């Protein structure tokens, strides 16, 4: 249980500094890839939400089967 919480915390916290570090390292060359990523996320929001809900459903089914 603790390992899951630690992994979740590390992944959650690392999502913020990764694009910032990418920008700091690459400078202006990072502008286009970051803009493209932002556009992709904006156009595929529904797909990302469905994927997240499916993942949560799988986790819940796994918990239910283990009890």
pLDDT digits (tens, 9 = 90+) for 5-45: 899 899 889 888 999 999 999 999 999 999 999 999 999 99
* Cα(36)–Cα(42) distance, integer angstroms: 10
Please tell me the predicted confidence (pLDDT) of residue 41.
95
Domain count, the chain: 1
Joined tokens for residue 59:
């986790």
For 28-55, letters b (16+ CB in 10 Å) and e give eebeeeeeeeeeeeeeeeeeeeeeeeee
**Residue range(s) defining the domain that contains residue 17:** 2-66
> Where would I find the H helices in 1-67?
2-14, 17-26, 31-43, 45-66
Flag whether pLDDT at 67 surpasses 80: no
**Through-space distance between the first and last CA atoms of the chain, rounded to whole angstroms:** 14
């Amino acid at each position: 249980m603790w390992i899951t919480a630690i992994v979740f915390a590390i992944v959650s916290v690392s999502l913020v500094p990764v694009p910032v570090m990418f920008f700091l390292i690459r400078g202006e060359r990072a502008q286009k890839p970051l803009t493209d990523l932002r556009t992709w996320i904006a156009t595929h929001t529904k797909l990302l939400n469905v994927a997240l809900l499916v993942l949560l459903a799988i986790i819940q089914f796994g918990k239910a089967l283990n009890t």
